[in-house]
Structure 1
Amino acid sequence: MSVVYEQTHLDRLESESVQIFREVAATEERPGLLFSGGKDSVVMLHLARKAFWPAPVPFPVMHVDTGQNFDEVLAYRDRTVERYDLQLVVASVQDDIDAGRSHEEYAGAPRNRLQTATLLRGITEQRFGAVFGGARRDEEKARAKERVFSFRDEFGQWDPRNQRPELWSLYNGRHRRGENIRVFPLSNWTELDIWSYIEREGIELPSLYYARPRTVVERDGMLLEVNRFVEPRDGEVPFEAITRFRTVGDATCTGCVESGAATAAEVVAEVAAARITERGATRADDRISEAGMEDRKKEGYF
């Protein structure tokens, strides 16, 4: 009697991502994986570990540190690096500010946009030929234009009109010295897929992603958690609300949402009913036009 094994939707996504990791490891010189401690990079690392198990992950992970990260995320990053014996590279935005390569608009300003110069410096210093990123096509329109293998020139720039075909999932990662390939193993995943996979695999996340009482202020149409980076301004009245974060970034401009979802299963149900992307709802600096985000990507932003 023959047994037919039928893959689920998540199985197919997992298989595709694992194949991408193995393809890069076999064909590209000195790959690296961007790891922020956010849910997408956590899932990406989980898939990388599966791709090479029982061997360790064969490339370093790099965190582009804005200097304004949530404390829970940094603690999670360090626990994860120790648990899986990863090689961690930290590229610091503050180092670029101190060296005069980047400039803050004002003291305490959001630093998400300053990450580009730091990212490009980190890639150059580590001589990465390929860099894995956790971007997904469903996040916003500019990212939807990306291929899985995204070519970047010697200046780290991206040309959306000069993309390589990827028919039948055949990838072309050839490049000259100084150029690099940005690789997006989660391109075909959605936010709902990510959370469904987190639930299925029992993946640990920073506590920010789950609902609990937090002290917040309302600013720019968002709820910002009051912490060492965010203090109430004149006229703002802090209050307590049960919230969680849909995405994690610079603490000065990443908002939370009112929610009672305290487990992965509850988040899956909530995300399934959502009609606004996590970035559109909770990232102040991502509330820009499609052209504006595309310009940032052309400069080297992920």
Structure 2
Amino acid sequence: MTTYTEQTSPRILLTSVGRGWTGLDADFVHIPRGLSHVPGGKLHSLGMHFGPPVKADCSIGGRRMRRVQKPGDIDIVPAGMDGSWEDDADCHILRLSLHPSLLNQVAEDLGRDAGKIELLPRFQVRDARIEGIGRAVKADLEADTPSDPLFIELLANALAVRLIESASGRFPAPDHHGEPKLSERQLRVLTEYIETNLDQKLQLADLAMVAGVSVTRLKTLFRNSTGSPVHQYVIRRRVEYARALMATTRMPASEIALAAGFAHQSHMASTMRRLLGQTPGEIVRQASEF
């Protein structure tokens, strides 16, 4: 491998900056061939390779590895550790940054001692769940209209769970006593809270508090109780509420979007097209025919 002495400058192609994400940051970057150095920061970092295979010489926290990075390969860099990568060709990397406070909170939710969970630098990790999370994040960065921030919170939480599992070597045991669910009262209180706060930014921590469970537990219990992930349920309720307002009022579309909790009118329109196959204009015209 050719040795490069000058550092390359990555070019950010997509970024989560300005999207209002919680717990997780992301950049999709183009890295020219040569040497790139990433100084240790306050966040845990993961780098996922996209595109053709590239030969690389990598170093993290004193550990070194020469390898061919392939699509889906993941490097894990704990907070505070420097990393350097010397690539023999241009490459594209999805960089995910996770807040340690989220990792600690999820560890507590899982009944683990956060102080005993140690993330270690790892090269060329192959993990289908982390790869799936990465691809979902990249798809959201590429979308003209971003997902509800609640979806990103769920991805961040799922990533934290997976990192904790891999760090401790303990994975969830299969449940032989049926699927755990929210009680009828918990589900009623939670869905009523969602209905009355559709115009607000709903966050996982608030929903978990209303249900009286941990954030990590909420994901499983809600899906088992309703058959739908919590973020998809919220999005559908926003869409149905917006459709009802269009059919029964003369409110401007921009006001309906805000009343239903969408970021803006185009966000509402694209979500309606995706879920209902109709535009707001078509819904209004259809309602006027009756």
* Bucket of the pairwise TM-score, normalised by the shorter protein: under 0.3
Q: Which has the larger radius of gyration?
A: 2
Instruction: Name the structure where strand makes up a greater proportion of residues.
Output: 2
What's the TM-score, normalizing by structure 1? 0.25
Instruction: Name the structure where helix makes up a greater proportion of residues.
Output: 2
Pick 1 or 2: higher relative contact order, CA cutoff 8 A, min separation 6.
1
